[in-house]
């Protein structure tokens, strides 16, 4: 790691992360037009923020801009029934086949799936995974990858390490340490099982689901599994991050990466992520 990376890592991870996250969270929710305009302008100066497809133009707070909704039709889901869509906008990080319990968070940095999901990963062996990193300026809501039923949610309290490249190169098992939710779904016409794992990060530490009271769940239930029966149409909104972070998508045997999906690929919600393999 050279150049500005050590400085970036120090500024975003050596400071008191939880305190900084809480402070920024409070400041971002101040509903004052002067504060909102100044904070959004500062954010847009440092980040690539595209508001062209947002439903609003004026926001009461920076938080409202972070968690913005989009105009209908802005993220159409691929209609092919053999395609499982990207749940969010994002840049593909590590991706590939799941040959054992270990997968990559970055080159040379494996982590155990069983620790990430809080249980055995045997049923995923022979499948595939994709890590989608949301930058701070991206659209922060996530959507159903196919017609699906969310059957279980486990919400793991944790740390709030940054999830950028310098941190992924230096912090072992980062995704296993951060606050995260593990959503178990059955999707598609043959009810294939899959997992979505939204991972929170510094200045974020907030994952919200439309079909569960996630703040209460985290406060009262900890990491105990919660049974659900949330039925979602392909492309339907599932929840959002309070800022930007990461979603890890895990599918069992019978899928392959969609054409063009590789490390560094920039995707939008609704674009092809996996394809069912015939036979």
| Contacts of range 13-21, beta carbons closer than 8 Å, 24 or more positions apart | 13/161, 13/162, 13/167, 13/171, 13/202, 17/159, 17/160, 17/161, 17/202, 18/159, 18/160, 18/205, 20/202, 20/203, 21/160, 21/202, 21/203, 21/204, 21/205
3-state secondary structure of 230: strand
Distances (CA, A) of 189 to 78, 83, 192, 234, 236: 15, 11, 8, 11, 16
Residues tagged active-site: 89, 143, 245
Distances (CA, A) of 213 to 195, 197, 238: 20, 17, 13
Strand partners, 209: 239
Alpha carbons 166 and 106: distance in angstroms, whole number? 10
């Amino acid at each position: 790691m050279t150049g500005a990376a050590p400085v970036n890592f120090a500024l975003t991870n050596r400071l008191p992360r939880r305190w900084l996250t809480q402070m920024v969270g409070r400041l971002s929710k101040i509903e004052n037009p002067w504060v909102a305009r100044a904070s959004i302008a500062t954010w847009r100066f440092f980040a690539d923020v595209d508001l062209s497809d947002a439903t609003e133009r004026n926001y009461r707070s920076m938080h409202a801009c972070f968690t913005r909704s989009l105009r209908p039709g802005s993220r159409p889901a691929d209609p092919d029934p053999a395609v499982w869509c990207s749940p969010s906008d994002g840049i593909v990080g590590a991706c590939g086949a799941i040959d054992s319990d270990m997968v990559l968070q970055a080159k040379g940095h494996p982590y155990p799936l069983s620790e990430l999901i809080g249980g055995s990963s045997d049923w995923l062996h022979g499948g595939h995974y994709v890590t989608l990193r949301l930058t701070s300026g991206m659209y922060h809501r996530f959507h159903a990858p196919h017609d699906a039923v969310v059957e279980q949610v486990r919400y793991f309290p944790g740390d709030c390490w940054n999830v950028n490249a310098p941190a992924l190169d230096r912090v072992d098992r980062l995704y296993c340490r951060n606050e995260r939710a593990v959503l178990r779904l059955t999707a598609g016409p043959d009810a294939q099982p899959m997992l979505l794992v939204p991972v929170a990060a510094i200045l974020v530490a907030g994952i919200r689901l439309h079909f569960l009271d996630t703040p209460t769940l985290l406060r009262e239930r900890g990491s105990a599994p919660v049974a659900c029966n949330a039925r979602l149409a392909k492309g339907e909104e599932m929840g959002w991050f309070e800022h930007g972070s990461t979603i890890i998508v895990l599918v069992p045997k019978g899928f392959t990466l969609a054409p063009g999906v590789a490390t560094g690929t920039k995707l939008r919600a609704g674009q092809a992520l996996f394809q069912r393999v015939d036979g």
